[in-house]
Structure 1
Amino acid sequence: MDKQLNSVKNQFKKEIPVSFTASDKQAVLQKINSSKPHKRSHILPSSLTAIVYAALLFAGFVVANDQLGLIEFGQEDTSEVTSPSTPPPEQDNLSGIPDEEEYSTYLEADDGPYQTFDPQTIEVGDVIGEMKVTDVKKHDSKIIVTFEGKKVLNGELSDEDVLMLMPDEKSLMNIPFAQNDIGGKIPFFFQDSEGFKKDLGIGKFSYAEGFNINVNEIRYTYSSAWSRIDLGGVNQLPFKFDSASKTTSDSIRLSDELLNIYSKYAKSLNDKLLKGLEPFDIFRMYFHTQNEGNSEVQYALYIKGDHSGTPSREEFFNDPFFAEDEITKENSKKLYQKLLKVKSFEEKEISDNETVIMFKLDESNSGAERAGFRLIKDPETGVWKVGWMSMQ
């Protein structure tokens, strides 16, 4: 073994010098003295080297982070914990609803007495006014109380961004409110706003006043920061119970006198021609023009104004939302034929400036519900006009 090792060492020394002699030093010194400094032609090789090193370091960090879970790179936790007490999404972000502050209702402290409750102590089975508590849930900082019972509310509707009700002062006295909400503002929404509008035949509008609605459920969401009310089981009442009324057996078909007025009005659309006409006259003219398919006269007969809810002329005639297809036109003609068979109409006087024409399309059915048609007197001209969303 020693002989083999010595043999390897000797071979190594012959092929690769391992000593540094004086002549070697002299050769190196001459090489240094003869060398001239030179400039780098470019820095690309160094840059590439730096980039490669950086890439290698980043790759190594990613692998280590993946194994050790050091840092989360902006990943969102999409898991959602659901439970029976989780409120509907719209209740979690009141501030996300545009213009809710503008159309919220102010609960003036001096206007009472209000029907109030304590959200911290209220329990299922408690009765506030005429409404019974059927459910109480707590979710984070919110308390959600469900009341059931029949309530008739009167007020104004807004549909700027979401359908909201602004109850009048009398209605506010019949609604349960959390004690701490008195003196502040609270918005009234609808649990099924689209369904409510569909049932009433309501399309696109911004604001309308004078609505009476029947409410079967109130879902009250309370927190120290904000509260809201969502109305459920809603349908519209066509008139107030204490309204004066009169019955007419006149046909919906235009008389010769009315037909003459209508013909002149269709050419000029001058409201002065309608001066002195009764609500039932305008009612008949409206369905006559629908049967004819004259949208110009139909639009002219609608009440106008900032608070009427009626769309602008440009919207009515140019927005596809308001366009009537052939099926709609045909249904209007069928409705007119049914109205011709109605033998009596009842006029309900809601106020000095509002009347509802009540009728049954199927008079042979004693259990059939009556329909209503709303007309409003223009406060500037004194002329009766058709209310937007007139059918009730």
Structure 2
Amino acid sequence: MVNFSRDYMKLNALLTIVTTSLALPSSLFAQESNFHQCLSGLESQAVQAGVSHYTFKKYTAQLEPDTSLLEKLNYQPEFRTPIWDYMTALVDEERIDDGKAMLQTHQTTLKRVAQLYGVDPATVVAVWGVESNYGKNQGKYSLVNALGTLSCMGRRQAFFRKEFFATLRIIQSGDITEDRLKGSWAGAFGHTQFMPTTFERLAVDFDNDGRRDLIDNTVDALGSTANYLKKAGWQTGQPWGFEVKLPQGFSTTGESRKNKKSITYWMSKGVKTMNGQALNEVVGSQQKAGLLLPAGINGPAFLVFKNFDAIYSYNAAESYALAIAHLSDRLKGAKPFVTPWPTDDLGLSRRERIELQTLLLKRGHDIGEADGLIGSKTREAIKKEQARLGMTVDGRAGQKILKALQ
């Protein structure tokens, strides 16, 4: 009886393995099977890229692929975040208050940063706030494991191999130890989320302790961030841009952030600041700016300059750059945008998201911890409540569902 039970368990396990294998895409199964062969084959490339044989063997000997990363790599989001949700979550009162506290705490370092690189403290701190919430959310994935996996599995292997080799060189150089080198699933790490190759090019030892460390050393992180922006074309003393008022019937044909034109041109089209000032009273007439309409013609409009492009280069998304730019202004005491977002259901701050999740938990939805992060479980729970309440079922965490559940 014992033997039959054990044999049955073995058979059941075998069937599970076979069934799982058949369920996997054939290409994925082949990649898993060939992972170690692929990894071994990378050694010569790594050595050519400056990684010693010793370093490569030491940190890849026990490496096992993390196939969960492939879901993230190939994920095509069904839920597209509206700009007003994105901005409300990233530039909320909590992040503004925390940022102002960081400006005070690190004022000596930030003063030196501004003197050396010409980037104002508020912009550097805004990058820090958006990238990792001032160091609180740096990422939990081992870079060696994540980038080793993506070097041999999934799309863009050539790109991830460069980052993988850079990771091994960082460890080899002694800047950061392997056990501390953790970050996002795609390889960004530290207070301001540098990719490994970016770290090698632009990270600085700002406190002169002999190591460049963006994970445990805030001073190095702030200096490195400013160095990045300077190399990206930051212009000292110039604005990133500002909100503007477009004249009635303004044609946006051909206009964009990239299509920059002189302030004189924009004045000739009737564009003004939000308080009615002439544009040349704010910036020089020959300054060139592009038009940014993140929510279309009915939402806030901005003229943006080269400093906006420098922020944009950090992570190529206009919504991302606008969040950092606006947070930097708020840290300097500016008010929210004047023109409202074109929606009747505004987004939620992090505190409001936590409140929404708490209400969902009280109603018996298994969504995990109320952490303010709106994942698939939270969206599914929202859909169920929307259906129950007769609302549009889209799974979006907005003001309407929060008020309905309060």
TM-score range, shorter chain: under 0.3
Please report the TM-score for the alignment, with normalisation by the length of structure 1. 0.23
Please report the TM-score for the alignment, with normalisation by the length of structure 2. 0.22
Tell me: higher relative CO, structure 1 or 2? Use CA pairs within 8 A at least 6 residues apart.
2
Q: If each structure's helix is expressed as a fraction of its own residues, which one has the higher value?
A: 2
